[in-house]
Amino acid sequence: MTDKPVVEAFDFDGTLTHHDTLIPFLIDAAGPWKVSCSILKQLPLMIGYFFGLSTRQQIKEGLLQNTIGGIPLEIVKEKGKEFARKKIRAKLKPEAMRKLQWHQNQGHRCILVSANLDVYLEPWSQMEKLQDTLCSILQVDDKGRITGFLKGKNCRGEEKTKRLLALLGDRKSFILYAYGDSKGDKEMLEIADFPFYRKFD
């Protein structure tokens, strides 16, 4: 037996959900035509990524700049709340949600750790009663409009572990269950006592 607190860290896209949620959200927020045009504009950066000439953050920020850039944050937050209420449920994996609910029933501290956006992940986490949400945060200008850049780093890879440890403190002070499905979760899974890669048991 141990008296250490137990923490559960879940990735979102591909782990709790069947597919990516960023593009569906941007389509809701900015429209399919704008999103399609933005994806085409990002093709050079996407190609450059495979040759190490660009980063995921640059690609994501380019996509955001050309879709929701310039829109007041409050408007996008409302879109995010609506997306969380009406669209995410159909994208969730039942087996993943059962595991999340199991942790909650055990009284574990449940944390969402995702590279996706705060405007819809935070309201979804509140709906599902997760204690914390660590994710990518939209930057705004002095007029409260979205710039298209992220505030800080894209919450992926090493950034996930940095944010977890910044929140929770000394890694030896808690027991960690971690769930992920991609290379972006590698570092988080490596520090877990119980890592689950593309599985829940």
For residues 196 and 95, the answer to whether their CB atoms sit within 8 Å is no
Report the C-alpha gap between 64 and 92 in whole angstroms. Answer: 24
For residues 134 and 160, the answer to whether their CB atoms sit within 8 Å is yes
Report the C-alpha gap between 134 and 151 in whole angstroms. Answer: 13
CA angle 73, 147, 126 (to 5 degrees): 40
Mean pLDDT of all residues belonging to the chain:
97
Closest CA to 156 of 8, 14, 5: 14
Quote the pLDDT of residue 2.
67
The whole-number average pLDDT for the span 178-199 is: 98
Q: How many residues make up the chain in this entry? A: 201
**23-37 pLDDT, tens digit each:** 999 999 999 999 999
The whole-number average pLDDT for the span 90-105 is: 98
**122-180 pLDDT, tens digit each:** 999 999 999 999 999 999 999 999 999 999 999 999 999 999 999 999 999 999 999 99
The whole-number average pLDDT for the span 85-105 is: 97
Quote the pLDDT of residue 165.
98
Tokens 């929140």 locate to 167
Quote the pLDDT of residue 183.
96
Euclidean distance between the first and final Cα of the chain, in Å? 21
- For residue 43, what are the contacts with CB-CB under 8 A and spacing of at least 6? none
Report the C-alpha gap between 49 and 130 in whole angstroms. Answer: 34
Question: Does the pLDDT value for residue 1 go beyond 60?
Answer: no
The CATH number fitting domain 6-197, selected from 3.40.50.1000, 3.40.190.10, 3.30.56.10, 3.40.50.2020: 3.40.50.1000
pTM of the model: 0.95
Using pLDDT thresholds of 50, 70 and 90, give the confidence band for residue 112: very high
- The angle that helices 43-50 and 56-65 make with each other, rounded to 10 degrees, is 170
Using pLDDT thresholds of 50, 70 and 90, give the confidence band for residue 3: confident
